[in-house]
A and B are shown apart, each in its own frame.
Chain A
């Protein structure tokens, strides 16, 4: 063995090849089976992708680095289920490019925050967290009241469709209009959003002002959608449904 290595040290390409082989095995064994993820993770029937407005909100979530303090992955531990709700299932993030499971909980998990608070609560909290929760250490985001740029959404939906997210061509063409309509329930397009993305989609003036579409609309729409894209986690039998928070 030593002798073999002694000789290997004289051949630089030999070392290179040996390193590549040694370092590849683990990755291949662990990652390759996940390529069959399409077969192993069944997408629930009621699962929908994010609407264009929610997608825009998701991008703001990434842009501001909310994921640095908030996870979106409830582990299979009793206290997490009691605190946050049923544990996260693989299918729930099947359309997420990238996933936002996170790694640090400076703030609470957000995987099921949708519907937990009202829209005005979120707006007030994001503009000044300490006005709502005095002991909070979350940063303030007053600049989110800026108008939302929807120009790129169509291309983004089309790109995601190419990666396998079930967006239709119709959804991509109407992405900007749908974003606008989802933030304005009285608009003509509001019904189209419901037809395209399902009746359960929230169509509201998330930031309180239907007349303009802001980044706040998008972010709050996204937060309110978290955990509501499918009900599968609540249907699985062994999952404990959390008691109401005191």
Chain B
């Protein structure tokens, strides 16, 4: 990082590190005890560590004079490393909480190891830590290549990445200490939320400034998706997290939303976190890395437009399908259901477009495990969106809601689609950024692929069975008109499925560990001249465009 910065940029970095440490000091001083104080101490630690690193690096030689005529890939490399660290950590937590449902006595008697505290560590760690870092890292790569322009400056990418990871760290360590807003995927407390807003604005501005420097007249479709991801996530995050802190010197706050209104806002957020965090951003990855890897252009430009606007417009309506038969007004439930079904059209347009792109490159899919990851991702994307539209239909939802079917559906999307496309992107990027033709251990990709596919199938099939069994047991009446099963009987019926799910998850985790080691080995054996195969950058500021 430091070698790639000029000395004035290093000084700016030092100033920012001091500011971060001071912010931490204020938090620590104000709160004195509790989660906010611990988080203040973490900010101080990060600030001081950066200060030492940058201060020590002041004497290092200036970077190569022609650096502005090259792409800036250091942040992407760092982002990939963080992606893999969060992947292994958060998936391990996932396997552990899965095991606890089969074997509850295994919980050590420390509060922070309890299921209820670890579950959000898994969800936030995996969505934000693993998914978020992958999105930011690839977006930096993609926006530069498709714009033929270097990132607008060299300091803000680091602000985004380090700031974002600090947010993730605050979030998960807060849950362990019992600090939570209890809103799913938005559990982090108010100051962490404010911090994320700052980081996100910096990210957006950097993205726009880089686009403004582009040397291509058109903004490539992957960038539309990244933009939708950045913009809509900001909108959702701010509205859902509006809260009144009990005191500025403590972590506790109360959301301004109450009751039904809170439920609607929460699931408008919750489902669009799926849509714009876990889908739009990853479609961006798909639309860039799939054509690059297969060497074929996106099959249909029209279909890309249709699916993009369809997804952006329809998704926002569907959150209320999480609230069927509840105290939410009926018409809002109906709207949510209707739009959920219509959403299938743009979703399948996107998935179909990706699969059709592979037409003529099927031999590559057969031979290249990396491309196969992307293909499987597109297939699971199609399957999960179909299942999602189906589950949103009111009578189906009456059976599936509250059961493990939902969790199975979530993981068919996250394991089969989100994680697979990330792995595909990493296996494409890591060698490229290291100046290599291939990963350090090409055969290991094949192993990873089969572990991932097997793990996903075992996980998802086990939970389909679990969920449908549960749903049916809860609603079955006997001949005398009484409920046939006690709740406890339905709990006992879950045991084999929970065991299977743990095994499936462990296989998936094993694959992710292989990926992490492989990436590490690849990056360590980086060769000089990494830019050799890259798309040439057109140096200099963007030419003025008559169209604008």
Contacts and interface: CB of A to CB of B under 8 A. Distances in A.
B265 interface: yes
Contacts of A37: 259-261
B120 A68 contact: yes
Contacts of A9: 218-219, 224
Nearest to A153: B246
Interface in A124-142: 129-130, 133, 135-142
Contacts of A63: 117, 178-180
A81 B96 CA distance: 34
A64 B180 CA distance: 9
A218 interface: no
B259 A94 contact: yes
Contacts of B253: 159
B398 A89 contact: no
Contacts of B261: 31, 34-35, 37
Contacts of A26: 313-318, 339
Contact of B255 (A68, A91, A98, A139): A98
B208 A30 contact: no
A22 interface: yes
B114 A64 contact: yes
Interface in B181-214: 181-184, 208, 211-212
Given A65-B180, A89-B327, A136 B115 contact: no
Nearest to A99: B262
Contacts of A29: 317, 335
A190 interface: no
Contacts of A5: 305
Contacts of A92: 327
Nearest to A105: B402
B525 interface: no
B217 to A, nearest CB: 5
Interface in A103-121: 103-108
Contacts of B313: 22-23, 25-26
Contact of B324 (A33, A75, A98, A104): A75
30 contacts: A9-B218, A10-B218, A12-B212, A19-B232, A19-B312, A20-B231, A23-B276, A25-B313, A27-B268, A31-B265, A34-B264, A35-B261, A65-B175, A65-B180, A73-B327, A75-B325, A77-B398, A90-B327, A93-B327, A95-B259, A96-B258, A97-B256, A101-B326, A103-B401, A105-B402, A139-B100, A155-B247, A159-B245, A159-B253, A243-B482
Q: Is the interface of B mostly helix, strand, loop or mixed?
A: helix
Interface stretch (A160-168, A176-184, A195-203, A219-227): A160-168
Contacts of A79: 474-475, 477, 483
B259 A41 contact: yes
Given A29-B335, A69-B116, A140-B104, 10 more contacts: A27-B235, A30-B268, A65-B115, A65-B120, A79-B475, A83-B483, A93-B259, A96-B259, A135-B491, A139-B100
Interface in B452-475: 470, 474-475
Interface of A: 2, 5-7, 9-13, 15-16, 19-20, 22-27, 29-31, 33-35, 37, 40-41, 59, 62-69, 71, 73, 75-77, 79-80, 82-83, 87-108, 129-130, 133, 135-143, 152, 155-156, 159-160, 162-165, 243, 246
A217 to B, nearest CB: 17
Interface of B: 100-102, 104-105, 107, 109, 111, 114-117, 119-120, 175, 178-184, 208, 211-212, 217-219, 224, 227-228, 231-232, 235, 239, 244-247, 250, 252-266, 268, 276, 302, 305, 309, 312-320, 322-329, 332, 335-336, 339, 398, 401-404, 406-407, 470, 474-475, 477, 482-483, 487-488, 491-492, 494, 545, 547-548
Contacts of B327: 73, 87-90, 92-93
Contacts of B402: 71, 102-105
Contact of A23 (B107, B111, B235, B470): B235
A103 B184 contact: yes
A159 B254 contact: yes
Contacts of B326: 73, 75, 88, 101
B257 A98 contact: yes
A93 B120 contact: no
B104 A68 contact: no
B259 A16 contact: no
B258 to A, nearest CB: 5
Contact of B260 (A13, A34, A76): A34
A149 to B, nearest CB: 10
A134 B177 CA distance: 29
Contacts of A140: 104, 107, 109
A245 to B, nearest CB: 8
B329 to A, nearest CB: 8
A103 B406 contact: yes
A143 B178 CA distance: 13
B104 A82 contact: no
